Amino acid sequence: MAKKTVADIDVKGKKVLMRCDFNVPLDADCHITSDDRIVKALPTIKAILDGGGALILMSHLGRPKGQRDDTMSLLPVARRLSELLGSDVGFAEDCIGDDAKAKAEALTGGQVLLLENLRFYPQETIKDKVAKEDAQLRQAKDAFAQQLADMADIYVDDAFGTAHRDNASMYTVPQCMKGKPRVAGFLIEKELKFLGETLKDPERPFVAILGGAKVSDKIGVIENLINKVDCIIIGGAMAYTFFKAQGLAVGDSLCENDFLDKATLLLSQAKDAGCEVVLPVDSVVAQEFKANAENKVVVGAIEAGWKGLDIGPESNTLFAGKLAGAKTIVWNGPMGVFEMEPFDAGTKAVALAVADATAKGARSIIGGGDSASAITKLGLVDQVSHISTGGGASLEFLEGKAFKCLEILDEKE
């Protein structure tokens, strides 16, 4: 069933509590270096304000470990949001307590208040499973969530980046607001549309590209995709675990020896399912893990003392060829150490191949995180179909996991 969104409810004269993902990057002086996450929340924010709602925004930023840390304050976000909206955004110096409550009560239609960082409180990140096993923790989490819930008449979830987490603001707050409207924002709606519809009814050939450091991070994804896609392209350091599982020397490359049997099993399962798995045929190797380190291209085995840091030029060509005829593409994870030259070439090649396939009619979904960073860095944002705002969330979605905080939202009739 589709979830109700802000477009399905009347917000006029109502207090609306909206969970955003304002976990923006800050420099050493606490200046925002990318406002992308704020900008992507604007459609939902503006719809609520234009509808006459009084809007209370909440989010986390960074990992302050349950205590106040002014270097992770959301105040810079309030200032930037004010600039983007062209109107003042109020700021509460706490997310609960007297100041937040008073400022929320004083809000009128068309006004905005941003609460301080939710993660200044340990209650925000207490895992629901742990809380169920510990009555004291359960009580603390519930009391924290209730204070947030009491501020509003409507709950809106537009934070896909944390949709896979059972944080208090994501799951316990809407539980506390049972009987009141609990809906998705437009960003969540877009994520569910692209990710959900793509996995449910993809146009074929359907190609998945998986990269990154560890096979262990992607086991669930591979297992789920084997029966959904026509081809899985594997790059990044995780490829070396598959190489070693096949008896190939990988030198000093990152390799998860505890997952060699699992890698072998995954290859066997893919073969049985008729899913082609494409591994790199060459690697760019170096003896040092640093930018512009002395390097060379090797085909096959990697000798001791050398480590693979990127896929090689033949792999670039191979992967691009597999993507050329694709009609649906999902990409999660870089092909190498894309932050450092010259080990960014493989990720660039794949990004350009994805953009080229998109230009020819393919639907391409970039799964957040490093893949999204690479696409952005290369200026290809407008040349792919969709860039997910949640790296970890999109990964768990590709695994086929259910998100409790989305299931709790109201269904469309």
Report the Cα–Cα distance between both ends of the chain, in Å, rounded: 9
For residue 121, the Cα-to-chain-centroid distance in whole angstroms is 23
What's the whole-number average pLDDT of the chain? 94
β-strand partners of 155: 17, 182
pLDDT of residue 288: 95
For the chain, which residues make up each domain, given as ranges? 6-187, 194-398
Express each pLDDT in 89-133 by its tens digit. Answer: 999 999 999 999 999 999 999 999 999 999 999 999 998 888 888
Q: What ranges in 185-338 are assigned the alpha helix state H?
A: 186-191, 197-200, 219-225, 238-245, 260-273, 313-324
In percent, the amount of the chain with pLDDT more than 70 equals 100
Calculate the CA 134 to chain-centre distance: 30
pLDDT tens across 236-294, in order? Answer: 999 999 999 999 999 999 999 999 999 999 999 999 999 999 999 999 999 999 999 99
The amino acid sitting at 379 is G
Mean pLDDT of 171-184: 97
Contact 250, 308 (CB under 8 A): yes
For helices 391-398 and 369-377, give the axis angle rounded to 10 degrees: 120
318's tokens: 């191979």
**Catalytic machinery residues:** 37, 214, 369, 392
Spatial strand order in the sheet of 282-286: 295-299, 282-286, 307-311
- Residues of the chain with pLDDT > 90, as a percent, come to 83
CB atoms within 10 A of CB 293: 16
Q: Which of 323, 260, 250, 320 has its CA nearest to residue 283?
A: 250
Q: Given the DSSP bridges, would you call strands 54-58 and 89-91 parallel, antiparallel or unpaired? A: unpaired
Question: Does 194-398 match 6-187 at the fold level?
Answer: yes
Give yes or no for residue 406 having a pLDDT over 90: yes
CATH class of segment(s) 194-398 = alpha beta
Amino acid 172: pLDDT:
97
The residue whose two tokens read 């629901």 is 128
pLDDT at residue 367 in the model: 85
Residue 369's pLDDT is: 76
* Whether 384 contacts 354, CB under 8 Å: yes
> Which one is the CATH code of 6-187: 3.50.50.60, 3.40.50.1260, 3.20.20.70, 3.40.228.10?
3.40.50.1260
CB-CB contact of 406 with 163 (8 Å): yes
pLDDT for the residue numbered 210:
95
Answering whether pTM is above 0.85, one says: yes
Give me the pLDDT at residue 1, please: 57
- pLDDT, position 340: 92
Residue 201's pLDDT band (boundaries 50, 70, 90)?
Answer: confident
